[in-house]
Amino acid sequence: MSEHGIGSQVVTQIAIVVHDIEQSIDHVSRAFGMAKPEIIITDTVEKARTNYRGTSSPAQAKLAFFHLGQVDLELIEPIGGPSIWQEHLDTKGEGVHHIAFAVPDTAAAVAALKEQGMADVQHGYFEGGMYTYVDTAPQLGVMLELLEFFGK
């Protein structure tokens, strides 16, 4: 599979990690002349089975999505425990955390990136699918999120 890379060439999200999602929603809504989206809170660890750098974590996040054509601009405010989102805030401050792709086969995509020296740093589940963050920033300049939707 590695000659096909992650198996997707269509970016679906640009995600920004922020300290205060309500304040960031205000700024983004105004800059783009858009209505304020609702804030979603991710599942607890029992359902999400969040694994951060090899260990289970009770981390959650507040999320908000702005639809910018094909791509969603996603705001993420980490809450509740150690996570790759909180790590970004602590080490780099607010900024672009990842870009996301819907992949047909997470295991194959992770294996292809592993051949390039890139590692799974957090994964978990949501209703209908799973996500995996791979630390591609040293090589690609940005982290990738692999989204797989089950039964599609």
Site for its own copies in 102-121 (CB under 8 A): 112-113, 116, 118
Cβ 44 to its own copies, closest distance in Å? Answer: 26
Among the listed residues 20, 22, 30, 107, the single contact to its own copies using CB under 8 A: 30
> Among 31, 91, 150, 151, which residue sits at the site for its own copies (rule: CB under 8 A)?
31
- Cα Rg of the chain (Å, integer): 15
**CA 78/CA 55 separation, integer angstroms:** 17
Give 54's DSSP letter: T
By CB under 8 A, is residue 56 in contact with its own copies? no
Residue 16 in contact with its own copies, rule: CB under 8 A: yes
Among 96, 108, 130, 147, which residue sits at the site for its own copies (rule: CB under 8 A)? 96
Least CB distance to its own copies at residue 39 (A): 16
> Three-state DSSP class for 25?
helix
Nearest Cα to Cα of residue 85 among 54, 102, 106, 61: 61
Residues whose CB is less than 8 angstroms from the CB of residue 48 and which lie 6 or more positions away in sequence, other chains included: 42, 60, 124, 125, 126
Residues in the interface with its own copies (CB under 8 A) total 46
